[in-house]
Structure 1
Amino acid sequence: MESFLSKFFPEVLRGMKSARRDAYCKYDNQWLTAFSSSLFIAGTLSSLVASRVARAVGRQAIMLLGGAMFLTGSIINAAAVNIAMLIIGRMLLGFGLGFTLQSAPVYLSETAPARWRGAFTSAYNAFVVIGILSATITNYFTNRIPGWGWRVSLGLAAVPGTIIVAGSLFIPDTPSSLVLRGHHDRARAALQRIRGAGADVDAELKDIVRAVDEARQNEAGAFRRLFSRRYRHCLAVGLGIPVFYEFTGMIVISIFSPVLFRTVGFNSQKAILGSVINSMTNLASTLLSTSVMDRTGRRPLFIVGGVGMMLCEVAISWIMADHLGKHQGVTMPRSYATGVLVLICLCTFSFGLSWAPLRWVVPSEIYPVEVRSAGQALSISVALCLSFVELQVFIALLCAMKYGVFLFYAGWLLTMTIFVAAFLPETKGMPIEAMRSVWERHWYWKRFVNDGDHHDGRVVADEGTD
């Protein structure tokens, strides 16, 4: 939004209007990227803290606290008068994001019926996409308000913060979290409320209690145990997926899509409209993924989506190499700019069908209960830390590598598709307490599950507390 740039980043606005500026380098400003990426470094720190707090107070309380911080950050951003206030508000949003990202997917995974767990957990991503679409549409209209339209845009982040706070007050904590804290009667009541008044919950509650009892035998040192041989399979997949997710290139395309559209020649209003179209595409593919995930399985969606994104990013790179910045021009011909928009939407569709929702589903269901909070926290913190680094350097990377940045991401997409095909077991339809059997049947990871059992007593005896 030009009103936002003119107030806080006037040098970027001057660079945009300069005919001498490299088409790829018009937005290369570290203060601007610091504003965007500060949210993620704050989220990294808070997600690590949230895993320990969740064991003491439960997942419901973590979501409540996260929503309150998100609400506060949005108010500070809307009232900002300098860059320092912007970054402080953005970091508070990040703290709230870290708390909710650590707790909400696990909450859904622990409360959803096994046969619908994929749909329930991926619904989290669907609502994230709805939020992104709502924000983009808001930007489209507030961009027309001179001077203060950006305050409305940033201030409306208070709406999801308020919804999180209010919603957290009306839901029970998860049965697993309640049993883990010794509240068996409340756990039964919560499970009955979730499954319905007439449902028989005895068998499911016994499974939860048994899983928690096994977890208590190894209660100390959860983070340290994650790096032992017994949990190596969980750690490899639980960290591999968020790391590869960041290198799809889609997070920077999503956040910086207006920048990309301005780079290839759209004006401010059309660039935001392009982002609206892209967000709508993301929502459509996310809803499709939610409806088919528990029928097709996780692996086929990962593979199809990865191949689709790879082909689109190679095509984007080819068009930008041939038609952007040629003959001293700072934009590309309109027909090719429209082609880039179409390819970005196709890439987003492949992403929304696969990595976007599955990035939340798989890590939330693969960890045993004794390390689930620690594993989820580690997955989230690694992802947010990489997001911070990636957003901090993307504009400089675009300026330095030009069209080659998309070939860089395409190479990663090939690598991660091979990883999924070889090392990710299929988890659809399996009760979360019985996930061990999935690993035992995998051609590679079964050796770690069985060897871990043989050495389990020694590992527990040798390890101290975190």
Structure 2
Amino acid sequence: MIDASELANSVKHPFRNILKKRNRPQLVMAIIMPMFEILTGISSILFYAHVRFQSMGFKGNASLYSSALTRAVLCRRVLLIGGGIQMIICQVIVGIILGLKFGKYKELSETDSIVVVVVICLFVVAFGWSWGTLGWTMPSEIFALETRSAGQSITVAINLFFTFIIAQSFLSLLCGMKFGLLLFFDGLITVNDADVAKALVLEEDHLRKSR
């Protein structure tokens, strides 16, 4: 590890290197993976879980327990698409329940509330074994030594930037779009899976040609 660290420190101008044409596919992955990871809607689930649960009828500590539960279950292509499909199904179910049974002058029954909590937990589980894990591991594996530090810096910066955007805009979007916001995230997940599948194919072709 010490030798690898010293070798990495010997690399000059990693940001300049990552802009070169031969490193462009890796640069694209460093941008789209963390961006799409956040656009699955996971930040809104984790940041505002207690708000969602409390608005659906869970009182006081119960909403905090529900939030803690979703965090407790957060523990190549097939995984990303499979996880994306599971997340889409979960958000569609929650969106339908909220759209039909929750609104002005209406509250969710205890059974419906439990179903919503379980489905949201399944959403977090799907994220954990797909986008949540691979969104960090894949970018770290595709960079050559000359671009690794720059690539990881870009990955972290993009992730934090879109996390900030979602965190700041979620409540306003929820007030305006209501349950439609979940369907909006479903659309983004669908686009994410399609785009990343294409990007992975291009990346594999690029690596095959470079050997």
Question: Which of 364, 381, 386 is the equivalent residue of 2:157?
Answer: 381
What is the distance in 1 between the residues matched to 2:174 and 2:8?
A: 48
Q: Which runs of 5+ in 1 are unaligned?
A: 1-110, 112-173, 183-215, 284-297, 426-437, 454-466
- Give the CA deviation at 1:280: 2.5
Give the number of equivalent residue pairs.
211
Would you say 1:240 and 2:46 are equivalent positions? no
Partner of 1:325: 103
- Give the CA deviation at 1:359: 1.4
What is the distance in 2 between the residues matched to 1:354 and 1:228?
A: 30
What is the distance in 2 between the residues matched to 1:423 and 1:243?
A: 14
Partner of 1:228: 20
Task: Show the 5 A alignment for 1:347-386.
Answer: 347-386=123-162
Q: Residues 343 and 180 from structure 1, CA distance in 2 versus in 1: closer, same or farther, beyond 3 angstroms? A: closer
In the TM superposition, what whole-angstrom CA distance separates every residue of 1:374-421 from its partner, at most 9, and x where no partner exists? 111011101101111110110111111100110111001111111232
Is contact 1:238-1:366 (8 Å) kept? Answer: no
Partner of 2:5: 177
Question: Which of 177, 188, 197 is the equivalent residue of 1:421?
Answer: 197
Give the aligned residue type for 1:282.
L
Question: Which of 230, 235, 251 is the equivalent residue of 2:43?
Answer: 251
Partner of 1:281: 73
Give the aligned residue type for 1:407.
L
Task: Show the 5 A alignment for 1:152-163.
Answer: none
Classify the secondary structure of the residue corresponding to 2:57.
coil
Partner of 1:307: 85
What is the distance in 1 between the residues matched to 2:3 and 2:44?
A: 37
- Give the CA deviation at 1:181: 4.1
Question: Over the residues paired in the alignment, what is the CA RMSD in angstroms?
Answer: 2.2
Is contact 2:30-2:151 (8 Å) kept? Answer: yes
Q: Residues 353 and 446 from structure 1, CA distance in 2 versus in 1: closer, same or farther, beyond 3 angstroms? A: closer
Is contact 1:315-1:343 (8 Å) kept? Answer: yes
- Give the CA deviation at 1:342: 1.1
TM-score, normalised on structure 2? 0.91
- Give the CA deviation at 1:333: 2.2
- Give the CA deviation at 1:343: 0.9
Give the aligned residue type for 1:355.
W
State which structure, 1 or 2, has the greater radius of gyration over its C-alpha atoms.
1
Is contact 2:94-2:116 (8 Å) kept? Answer: yes
- Give the CA deviation at 1:225: 3.5
Is contact 1:265-1:332 (8 Å) kept? Answer: yes
Partner of 2:55: 263
Partner of 1:120: none
What is the distance in 2 between the residues matched to 1:386 and 1:280?
A: 23
Is contact 2:79-2:129 (8 Å) kept? Answer: yes
TM-score, normalised on structure 1? 0.43
Is contact 1:237-1:363 (8 Å) kept? Answer: yes
Would you say 1:316 and 2:94 are equivalent positions? yes
- Give the CA deviation at 1:446: 5.5
Classify the secondary structure of the residue corresponding to 2:40.
coil
- Sequence identity of aligned pairs in percent? 31
Is contact 1:243-1:382 (8 Å) kept? Answer: yes
Task: Show the 5 A alignment for 1:22-421.
Answer: 174-181=2-9, 216=11, 219-220=12-13, 222-283=14-75, 298-326=76-104, 328-329=105-106, 331-421=107-197
Give the aligned residue type for 1:404.
G
What is the distance in 2 between the residues matched to 1:380 and 1:179?
A: 22
Classify the secondary structure of the residue corresponding to 1:409.
helix
What is the distance in 1 between the residues matched to 2:135 and 2:95?
A: 25
In the TM superposition, what whole-angstrom CA distance separates every residue of 1:273-296 from its partner, at most 9, and x where no partner exists? 11222222222xxxxxxxxxxxxx
What is the distance in 1 between the residues matched to 2:85 and 2:151?
A: 28
Give the aligned residue type for 1:347.
F
What is the distance in 2 between the residues matched to 1:227 and 1:316?
A: 42
What is the distance in 1 between the residues matched to 2:121 and 2:9?
A: 46
What is the distance in 1 between the residues matched to 2:8 and 2:90?
A: 46
Partner of 1:140: none
In the TM superposition, what whole-angstrom CA distance separates every residue of 1:33-62 from its partner, at most 9, and x where no partner exists? xxxxxxxxxxxxxxxxxxxxxxxxxxxxxx
Is contact 2:83-2:130 (8 Å) kept? Answer: yes
What is the distance in 2 between the residues matched to 1:358 and 1:446?
A: 19
Q: Which runs of 5+ in 2 are unaligned?
A: none
Q: Residues 372 and 181 from structure 1, CA distance in 2 versus in 1: closer, same or farther, beyond 3 angstroms? A: closer
